[in-house]
Structure formats: C-alpha cells, structure tokens
Structure 1
Amino acid sequence: MLDPRAAGLVALLAGVWALAASCRPADGPAPAAAGAWLLALLAFAGHWLLDAGRGGGVPTAAHTLASLPYWPLAAAVLFVAWRRFPPAPAALWWGAALAAAVAGALLLHQWGGTVRVRVRTDMNAIPFGNLSLCLGVLALLGGLFQRREPRWGALLVVAGVLGLVASLLSGTRGGWITLPAVVLMLAVWRGGALWRRWSSLPVAWRGAGWALLLALLVFAAARVWPRVEDLFSDLHRFAADGITGTSVGLRLDMWGTAWSLFLQKPWLGWGEQGLALQLQRLIEAGRLNEQARYFGYQLHSDVLDTLARRGLLGLATLLPLYLVPAWLCLRRLREAGAVAMAGLLTVVMFAGFGLTQSQFRDPNSLAGYLVLMSGVLAVRGLAVPGRRTG
C-alpha cells in the first residue's frame, strides 16, 4: 500500500490545484467529449454509492477502503482542474518514466540477483507489477516517438525498460497477457514509421538498442518460464483433483461462484454487504475456498465481480470507464498522435489487468487508472482540438 501520509499530500496538492483552476476563467466551452468522461465517472461512483444503501450504507465490504467509491468523484474534480490548466505531453512521458524507473530500480535492488521467483514489496505484487508495466509502456511510447531530441528519447526508453523489468520481477502474470496486444497496436499504428526511424539511427545507437533488447528478452525468459510452469501445474491440479488452493485454482473457483451468483440476481446483483454474506455462507458450506475471505471477498475479475455485486446495471456503469476514453482517444488518434495512443494503450492494458483481478476494488489500481486516464484526456493536444502532438 501507499504511505497514507504520501497519499494525503497528493490529495492536498490536487485539492489546491482544483481550487486554483476553479478561479481561472475558462478559455472556452469545454468540448462535449470532456462531459462524456465526467458522466462516466459520476455514473460509476453514483451507482456504487447508491448500491451501498442496500447493505446499511457501508460503501464497501471488508478489506478495502470505505472511501473508494468517492475516488471517481475526486478524479472528476481533478479532471476539471486539468482541463483549465492542460499539462504538456512531456508531463505524461516524463511522469511515467520517473515512476517506471523508480519501480525498476527498487525491485532490482531488492532482488539483488537472488533466485527468488517473485520479489515482494510493501504494495501487493499484482497492482505493483501491473502499474509498473503500464507506466513502462507509456515511457517507451514517449521515447520511441521522440522526434526532436534522440538522447532524451533514449532516456525514456531506458526508463520504460526498467518498468518492464519491475513487472517481470513482480511475477504478475495477469499483466503480461496484455503485451501482445500492445505490440500489435503499435505495429498497426506506426510500425513502418518506427522501423524507418530505427534504420536512420547511427550504427552505435542501433547496436546498443539490439543489445538492450536481447538482454531484456533473456531476463524475461528467466523470469517468465517458472511462472508459466506454475500456471500449467495449477491448471492440471484443478482439472485432475479439483484443487482450489492455488493461485489459478482459487481464481477459477471464484469465477464460477461469481457467475452462479450473477445468474441468481442478474439485474441488480447482491449488493456490497449481501455478496460478502453470501460468499461467507458458501465458504462455511464448503462450496468456496476459504481463501476468498482473505481477498476482501473480491472475485478477481472486474466484470464478474461487478456482475455478482451490482448486476447488469453495475456493468452498465463499469464499461463506460473503458469505452468512453477509448472512443475519445481513437477519434483523435490522427491529430493527437502518441498522446491518443497512450490513452488507448492504457485502456487496453487496464482492461486486460481486470480479467484476472478486481482492480477497481484495489486502491492503488483504481487511483492509477483514474489519474492516468484523466491526465491523458486533459493533455494539451488531445483535449484542445487543432494542436498536434508527437
């Protein structure tokens, strides 16, 4: 988890920023696109809070922050502030690079060349690995399409690689499944331009680049293979003996339970407290592995957890958090360039993360997505039509 004092400082600075922005006259009417993202945030938070009323007014079940449903509202305020003071694209690239580099350096220090399969941090390994991967990809994107200063681009690439290294050391398999989609999207978007730029670099630069890529691939193979073996072992034990005490077996057990509970109450779901009580009953009856209670009764899938907890109405408020920014970035891809692609990649990666983790019930993952997405949508060039960014 993040240090509460650090989180409080960030919240205080964000509040000061929002207050200053509210006192500044707007340059013009906000585009309807901004309203779509604000509406998505308000709908998600509003339904979450209204749903809590069914369980006595407690916003969330056990083992998570009671303030979590209010965070999309805070993100809406921060987004409005950023719309008044749009950050430059460089803030996105260097912010992602700094975070990715720190994450990579921290885990390399803790790893120290040991044989550990997963390096632990104070934060849960799953959100740590996922956020490191996403920030690393964004830093790489900024570096690969840095036009003016190749040396700055090289620094961004190195920081991006450190973010990927942090993800590998965390052992977070759920995030790795998004990488093929990332590579495919970049190849389809500007694969030819990227290859031409690479070919125009001096031979020494290209040699260093190939060496870095080869080292990363060798390192990745050494880190990924043990986790892949664990994956197949867990699948075999679940299929052959019904063992649900493993990482994969527990997820399959919870996913089946989530789907079954959704079918019983498809429209509104069980509610926050209702789902926790029902899962506890299933555990006591031996129909669900007891480890589920230690994860705060979250079912390790954003979609399935939402369907069981808040039904189809809940899914209707969850999907716009992905679809609205994807649409906003896609329609500006030609003009906004790398900034719009950063938004698309963020959406795709977080959607992938949510396949095996209820990330919007995790404070770090939820905060990461809300801040990244609101920031990307407010970046100068994407938010203001007619200003092209690299």
Structure 2
Amino acid sequence: MLNKRYSFGYLFVNTAVSIYFLSIFLFKRSYNIAPALLILAALILFITSKERKNIFKFNNEQKTLAFSYLFYFATLAFSVLFHHGKLNELDNPSRILLFLPIIPLLVNYKLSFHILIKVIPFSALLAGVIALIQRFYLGYEQAYSNVMHIQGGDMAMSLGVFSICISLYFWTNKNKKFALFILFCALMGMLGSILSTARGGWIGVPFILAFTLYIYRKKLPKYFFPILFSAISTFVVIVSLTNTGGIIDRINAAKADITQYVSSENTSTSVGARFDMWKASWIAIQEKPILGWGKQGIYDKKQELAKEGIISEYAASFVHNHNQFIDDTVKKGLIGLIALLFVFIVPLRFFISNLKTDNPELLCLSSLGIIHVISTMFYNFSQSFFSHNSGNIFYFFLIVIFYAAIKVLKNKN
C-alpha cells in the first residue's frame, strides 16, 4: 500500500512540474494549471495524512524562505490598507503564499532531478517552436502575446539560460551528444525571447553566461569553450544578419528613443516613457520615502506631473513603472523595497550556500537557482515582472521547485 501511494505521488508531482514547464506558452493562463494541482494535492495531503506534522514540518531554511514570502505579501497588504487601495491588488501576490506547502509535497514524493533537467530543455525547445509558429506562420508581430510578450520573452530567455547550465552538466558527465542537443534547445529558447521583441530579457545574458562558465570552469575541457563560443557566435551572427524577430530594428529603435529623449524631441517612446516614469517616481519617492504613495496615489501623482509638463502624458498613463524595484519603492516605500530584496536575497543565499559541493547534481540545481534569481532581477530593471500573474508564478514557483529538488538530493545523500 505504501509503495503504491509513493508511486502515485512520485508520478503526480513530477508530472505536474513537467506540465508547468511544457504549458507556459500554450494558451492564456495555462501556467496556472500545474501550481493549482500541486496546491490542491498539498491541501489533500495535509488533511488526510496521519504524518502531516512530520511532512509539513519546515526546517530553518524553509522557515526563512517562508518568512521572505510572508514579509513580501504583508508589506503589500499594509500598503493597500494604509493607502485605501483595492483588495484585488492582493489577488496575484497572495497566491505565492500557497506555494509554500508545495515544498514538503515535492520533497515527500521525491521531485526527480533527472526529470527536471530534461523537461526544462524541452520546454525551451517548445518555446522556440511556438515563437516561430506565431511570428512566421500566424503572422503575429510579437511572440507570446497570449502571456504578454515582454513576460513571455523573459521566461523564454530563462528557459534558454537554464538549458545552457544543464548542457554543461551533461557534458561534464560524459553525455556529450545529449549536451549538444540541449545546447540547441537553449538557443531555441533564446530565439523565442528574440522573437518576442522583449529587449529587457537580453541585458543579463552575458552576465549569466559568464557566471555559468565560471562555475564549471574546472570541470570542462579547454576545447569546450571554443565549441560553445562558436555556437553562440553563429547564432548571434545569423540572427543579426537576417534581422530575425527585428532584433536590429529593436536595437536601433532603442538608440533612436534615447536620442530623441535627450534632445527632448520626443519623449513619448518606449524607452522615453520609461525614463519619464522613473523620473516621476524619483520625484515622488523623495516626497514619501518610507511608506510610499500606493497604486492609485502614484498614478494620480504622475497625472499631476504630466499636467505640469515634467513628464509626458503617455508616460503618465501607465499603471506600473516598468521597473519592479522603483515600482515597489514608490508605491510601498523603503519598506516595500526591503521586502522585494528579501525575496531575492533569501533564496540566493540558500543556493550559493550549496555551490561548494562535489555532487554534480547539487551543483547543477544550485546554479539553476542562482541563475533564476539573478536573471529575474535583471528582468525587473526594465519591467515590473511581478505586476503580472505570469511573473509571480514563474519566479516564486520555480524557487519552490529548486528548493525542493535540492532538499530531495540532500536527503538522498
């Protein structure tokens, strides 16, 4: 009986996690399916299991992670109450608290490292295929419009850089052919990001690649680096020469936007609007640095600044400020910024603490966790990534997955 329960639980949690990665870009809000299934399963396990006290007992590391999630949500709840905001502002962020019981569920039923490192590259491959179909067969201007193209582009880039890390794992474990296939999957994920036209996802890639190669520098033969460099260089050259996804046009547009903004010729551009929003936020933060303005308060403040000619009306029309760090600070004050930093620093510290290991699986998972945190931080510099449900789920749910996978490995060893 116990073996059957374990077998079903093992299949269920690993299938659910696989569904999440493979369904991100399939249709609108398909990324909600797997987390909802796992939350429901955790609830059922808590109600029915006689060993729930042991199963759902958090260790110190998990308690610290739970505190960071709770603190992040609590600052938002306080801000909404203090600034008389709408309760629906708590809808998306409140869901991250439901991810916490998933950790013991995944640990108890043994989230599989080997399934995880195979499904991630396949999801990157699928992301690239979907982007190609949407852009060149269906004729979409931007890939991933069903999940908001900037969010989709960022998530596709994450899947791509995850896959590069996984390819290094397989290469160092003498599975070179599969490593090369996964490298191809990585490039497909990155291509998907390019086809989304989301420029913010490209900024952190050089830093992420440098980190990944640094981690594996002693485990890789010298001839591997020319292979990787050649593959990435060829990919970049082809994309640039063919202007795939309009990448050159997007880069030139960004340059033109900056020039027009500096000369005050036209500030109502994509980049110009961001500069204006950040300018307005800086003005507002100086007036209310501790508790911020709230969502409606900063919107009204931007309207006021637009009437005074300090920022454009176009910039004033945005609800969020296309930078999560600035957005949280101006809406929730310095307390909100601290809470945001907590949800990055706490898991980052945990993943870094597991880097010093001779276990290749643990090294791979820890690296994936670090890549996930750092890449998401980069996305948040030019986009309010957590202002969208897709971003909340992608970041906080994957933190839970990597946490649990590391815990399973440690218990096994």
Same fold (TM over 0.5): yes
- Specify the alignment match of 1:274 in structure 2: 297
The DSSP-based 3-state class of the residue aligned with 1:87 is coil
Structure 1: segments with no counterpart, 5+ residues: 200-205
Check the 8 A contact 1:60/1:272 in 2, yes or no: no
Matched with 1:345 is 371
Query: Which amino acid letter does the alignment assign opposite residue 103 of structure 1?
Result: A
2:324 alignment partner, one of 294, 297, 302:
302
Does residue 233 (structure 1) correspond to residue 261 (structure 2)? The answer is: no
Identity across matched positions, percent: 21
The answer for the alignment partner of 1:359 in structure 2 is 385
Across the aligned residues of Structure 1 and Structure 2, the Cα RMSD in angstroms comes to 2.9
Match of 1:90 among 110, 114, 120: 114
1:318 aligns with 2:364: no
- The equivalent of 2:43 in structure 1 is 19
Residue 34 (str. 1) matches residue 69 (str. 2): no
Cα 1:387/1:226, change in 2 over 3 Å: farther
TM-score by length of 1: 0.86
> Which SS does the other structure have where 1:298 is aligned?
coil
Q: Which runs of at least 4 in structure 1 moved beyond 6 Å after TM superposition?
A: 113-117
Deviations 1:14-73 (A, max 9, x none): 223212443355369643111111110011012111211134351356xxxx51121221
The answer to whether structure 1 residue 54 and structure 2 residue 121 are counterparts is no
2:91 maps to amino acid: S
Give the corresponding residue for 1:171. 197
- Select which of 264, 278, 282 maps to 1:255: 278
> Retained in 1: the 8 A contact 2:166–2:364?
yes
Residue 287 of structure 1: how far off its partner (Å): 3.6
CA contact (8 A) 2:125 2:189 kept: yes
Is the 1:21–1:84 Cα contact (8 Å) retained in structure 2?
Answer: no
Shift of 1:259: 1.0
Q: C-alpha displacement at 1:118, in angstroms? A: 4.8
Distance in structure 2 (CA, Å) of the matches to 1:279 and 1:215: 45
Partner SS, residue 270 of structure 1: coil
The answer as to 2:350 corresponding to 1:331 is no
Q: Give the aligned partner of residue 203 of structure 1.
A: none
Q: Determine helix, strand or coil for the equivalent of 2:221.
A: helix
Superposition deviation, residue 272 in structure 1: 2.6
Q: Which residue of 2 aligns with 1:9?
A: 33
The Cα shift of 1:179 comes to 0.9
Aligned equivalents of 1:251, 1:2: Cα separation in 2? 30
Deviations 1:223-252 (A, max 9, x none): 433222111111100001252211110000
| Residue identity in the other structure for 2:397 | V
Q: 1:43 to 1:376 in 2, by over 3 A?
A: same
- Change in CA separation of 1:7 and 1:186 when aligned onto 2, cut-off 3 Å: closer
Residue 188 of structure 1, CA deviation: 1.9
Structure-1 residue corresponding to 2:21 = none
- SS of match in other structure, 1:351: helix
Question: Would you say how many aligned residue pairs link Structure 1 and Structure 2?
Answer: 375
The alpha carbon displacement at 1:4 in A equals 6.1
Deviation at 1:178, TM superposition (A): 0.5
Instruction: Work out which structure has the larger RCO, using CA pairs closer than 8 Å and 6 or more positions apart in sequence.
Output: 1
Contact 2:258 2:272 survives alignment (8 Å): yes
Cα offset, 1:152, TM superposition: 3.5
Greater alpha carbon shift after TM alignment, 336-345 vs 25-34: 25-34
Gaps (5+ residues) in structure 2? 1-24
Q: Aligned partners of 2:214, 2:231: CA distance in 1, in Å?
A: 24
Cα distance in structure 2, aligned partners of 1:37 and 1:2:
30
